[in-house]
Amino acid sequence: MLPVLVAAATALVAYLLTRHLQRTTAPPPPGPPCRPLLGLDPKLIPPSAPWKRFAEWGTKYGPVSSFHILGQRSIVINSFAAAGELLNKRASVYSERPLRQMLDVVMDRGSAVFNVTASDERHKVYRRILHGTLNQRSVASFHPMLEQESRAFVKRLANDVGPQKFEEHVRHNVISVIMRIAFGYSMQEGDTFVAGIQNAVRLSSLGATPGRWLVDYLPILRFVPSWFPGAEFKRLGWEWKKVIDDQLYRPFQWTKDRVAEGKAEQSFTATQLHENAHLPEHWLVKCAAAIYIGGADTTASAMICFFLAMSLYPDVQQKAQAEVDAITGGERLPTCKDIPQLKYLRRVMQEVLRWGTVVPLAIPHAALRDDEYNGYRIEKGATIFPNLWGMFHDPEVYPSPDTFDPDRFAPEAENAGVSPPPDPLDWAFGFGKRICPGLHFAQTSLFLNMASVLSVFDISKERDSTGAELEPNFEFTTGITSTATAFGCTVKPRSPESLSLIA
């Protein structure tokens, strides 16, 4: 192993020196001090909520800051103006993805929908397929299914309302909706398809964990034979690749069999097998898997944050309930057709996505070529981190950012002539050519579930044996997605009449 490491170190030094000599006169964006060649001390990036440290750097160094580790430059964007200019207006430059050796090369996930390079022909094909099938018009065709699943969700809540059981029901609802949209498959208790996909997501997350794999920093190690001492990462990567491929293919094959039998329900996969049968099948498998991978944790995290906010801010809850009741008359559950009339509840959803910031650092982008912004050089291959948490919690943009206040999004006419701040719905689902293709489904499902829950239940803090309120004990988790850690709240029917709505 020693000769390999010596060769790798020599190659790394040569690479760093070459990069240094090739730099133009324009400096990189400012940032924390970096050591010669080695770059930033990784200890300066906390393992928990690194987006908060990035936001501090934004305050100190400006809306676009940077650092490097072993020559790999990272750019952190902390303002809407910079994000809009670079990631939206210059999308042709910044729609690339950074290459992760363990995940993309060793585990062969580089061709997955969220990882594929912008220059790969599959990127355009994936976008055409997903955006063409998951657009707003398609969402309308799924409204009856979404309403059916929302009713089933509130029924489960009514039948099982333990202090922390709501999270289990939230996740059940989200996964059930996704499996029906993606595969036309109705989820069962102890479902092996769902367990398999969740395991595939877990293994992919392990492969993408920053700092875990030496090969991510010394790419030459990917050429080490798998039998060589110290090459366990290659053996693991190949094993995980086989598991992921198998577990993502199984529900696809299930739908394919139903299509052949003429028994398939409406779904993304059934549509693609009819309209894009000429494409390689594994492309369609990856597109179907992307619906689950992109929507399961994010939508569930937002809904969990909604429960937390309602328990902490009862005045907001009562105002939203009054609006829902005014539309339904308290005589039925809300439907998708009611959504445009629920103006205040839309603000609640905007504030949920801002306050809870489900994907704090978005999904990293990369620069396709050298570029300049405000006199600073952004080099080709630099990793771009859009710090959504920092943008959504900037007190200059959102006063009192830690307070849950939907009225901050009230129209100017209702808000003493003050223009509302940037709409989280315009930013929370990605940027440019990498915007989430399932955003219309996610927004509709989230909106409908919030309205349905509010029409039937009151959500409040737990109480102790004396009747005193207990403040929920929670933090927000660290990961690609972030959600509130387990907390207790009381979910109970508003009245016998409201409970009868789901009878």
Contact assessment for residue 61 and residue 30, using Cβ atoms and an 8 Å cutoff: yes
How far, in Å, CA of 275 to CA of 285, rounded?
A: 14
b/e burial code for range 278-299 (CB count within 10 A of at least 16 → b)? eeeeebbbbbbbbbbbbbbbbb
Q: Give alpha helix (H) positions in 313-435.
A: 314-328, 343-356, 388-392
How far, in Å, CA of 345 to CA of 339, rounded?
A: 9
436 assigned to a ligand binding site = yes
Tokens found for residue 74:
């990272």
Tokens found for residue 49:
């909520």
Element (DSSP H or E) covering residue 121: helix 121-133
Tokens found for residue 446:
């989230």
Dmax over CA atoms of the chain, in Å, equals: 76
Q: 3-state class of 371 per DSSP?
A: strand
How far, in Å, CA of 357 to CA of 368, rounded?
A: 27
How far, in Å, CA of 429 to CA of 413, rounded?
A: 28
- Distance set, CA 47 to CA 71, 74, 359 (Å): 21, 17, 16
Element (DSSP H or E) covering residue 461: strand 457-461
How far, in Å, CA of 409 to CA of 394, rounded?
A: 15
Q: Is 357 left (phi over 0), alpha (psi -120 to 50) or beta?
A: left
How far, in Å, CA of 286 to CA of 316, rounded?
A: 40
Contact assessment for residue 370 and residue 73, using Cβ atoms and an 8 Å cutoff: no
Angle at CA 377, nearest 5°, toward 374 and 378?
105
Tokens found for residue 210:
């920053």
Contact assessment for residue 106 and residue 238, using Cβ atoms and an 8 Å cutoff: yes
- Distance set, CA 280 to CA 245, 275, 276, 284, 461 (Å): 15, 13, 9, 7, 52
Number of H helices, E strands in the chain: 17, 8
Name the residue among 100, 155, 135, 126 with its Cα closest to residue 480: 100
Tokens found for residue 439:
């955003």
Known binding site: residues? 436
Known binding site for heme: residues? 436
